[in-house]
Amino acid sequence: MAQRTTKKLRRPRGNEILKVGIIGVSLVLAAFILKEPQVERASLNPVIVEEFDSIQVPVPREPVPAGTDLSKVDVELVSYPRHQVPDGAIIEAALLSGYENSVPLPAQLPIFSANLRPSGSVSLNAVEEKIPPGMRAMTIKVDATIAVEGWAAPGSVVDVLLVQEDKTTVVAERVKILSAERSVEEMQEGGPRVPSTVTVLVTQEQCLAINTAIPLGRIAFALRSSQDEESWSSRTFTAANLNKTRKEATVSGFVSVQGHEGGSRSYALSDGKWIVAETKPDGFLVAGE
């Protein structure tokens, strides 16, 4: 009788159980991924933008002075997107024929119909051409004193003063003279000539101020340098100011500078400012004396 043998089962070890668990989890995840619905990628089609509708606009090649016959102006055509052409701009060069510009025109910019007028409709004179928009020209009667012996000539810059019995007031500053005795020519050789009238360029406010001041007293000009932009420290001076005792200047320093050619020049420190001194103040010593 054959003997029956019994196979002894081996218990699984811990690391084998871990391996089996990892494999099982991996299989579950793989199955889940395979069942996930696939999202179709959207196809990216290129977007085509249509070219702007362009228009040819005539523009001057060079700046154009006011009063120029535009049919004789050298223009070129510049492409602009139609929606960017400013309102009122001339879009056809043929429309410029028979017109002139009432204001100076810049180069390379559109020409506006508001700045045009029929050719020959206005004749600008020598003074009118020099009046910018918003400014005014007015005429004042003058004599040798008012006109600074004629040195206040066309092109000069003056301040306008109102002289009354007990005070003097600055009415307008930095006023340019356009013409003297109906002449726009600047001072000629042989010295100044005293005009009887001058025409000045003023702002609207200055025009009103001067005309208001004329009946109140005597008008006088104070000639100034064209490079001087300083305003008056005090715009009114009264008779009472003349009676005030002026404090004597205090000299706190003195220096004498020797020149290259042997001459010298002296300066005194008066009230904190160095001024030219003709003589040496008392109480100061100079080296070499």
CA 38 – CA 169 distance, rounded (Å):
92
Is residue 36 predicted with pLDDT exceeding 80? no
Do 159 and 211 sit in the same domain of this protein?
yes
Is residue 247 predicted with pLDDT exceeding 90? no
Inside any domain, residue 72: yes
Do 102 and 149 sit in the same domain of this protein?
no
Mean pLDDT along residues 190-197: 80
Cα–Cα separations (whole angstroms), residue 230 to 30, 152, 159, 200, 226: 89, 19, 11, 20, 11
Mean pLDDT along residues 261-283: 76
Do 141 and 236 sit in the same domain of this protein?
yes
Is residue 1 predicted with pLDDT exceeding 50? no
pLDDT of residue 214: 95
Do 145 and 226 sit in the same domain of this protein?
yes
Inside any domain, residue 23: no
Is residue 282 predicted with pLDDT exceeding 90? no
Q: What domain count does the chain have? A: 3
From 62, 83, 118, the end of a domain falls on 118
List phi, psi (to 5°) of 219: -90, 140
Do 201 and 264 sit in the same domain of this protein?
no
Mean pLDDT along residues 149-167: 92
Do 232 and 265 sit in the same domain of this protein?
no
Mean pLDDT along residues 76-92: 89
Do 253 and 233 sit in the same domain of this protein?
no
Domain range spanning residue 70? 54-118
Do 77 and 141 sit in the same domain of this protein?
no
Inside any domain, residue 125: no
Do 175 and 227 sit in the same domain of this protein?
yes
Do 237 and 208 sit in the same domain of this protein?
yes
Inside any domain, residue 113: yes
Strands (DSSP E) contained in 86-235 are 99-101, 116-118, 136-141, 157-163, 167-180, 197-202, 218-224
Do 140 and 226 sit in the same domain of this protein?
yes
* Helix H or strand E encompassing 49: none
Q: Pick from 65, 203, 178: which is nearest to 127 by CA?
A: 178
Angle formed at CA 249 by CA 243 and CA 253, multiple of 5 degrees: 175
Inside any domain, residue 131: no
95-139 pLDDT per residue, tens = 888 898 888 999 999 999 989 888 876 656 778 778 888 899 999
Report the range of poorest mean pLDDT among 140-149, 199-208, 265-274: 265-274
Q: Which residue has the higher pLDDT, 37 or 113?
A: 113
Predicted TM-score (pTM) of the model is 0.46
Do 235 and 158 sit in the same domain of this protein?
yes
CATH of the domain at 80: 3.90.1210
Inside any domain, residue 231: yes
Inside any domain, residue 48: no
Inside any domain, residue 5: no
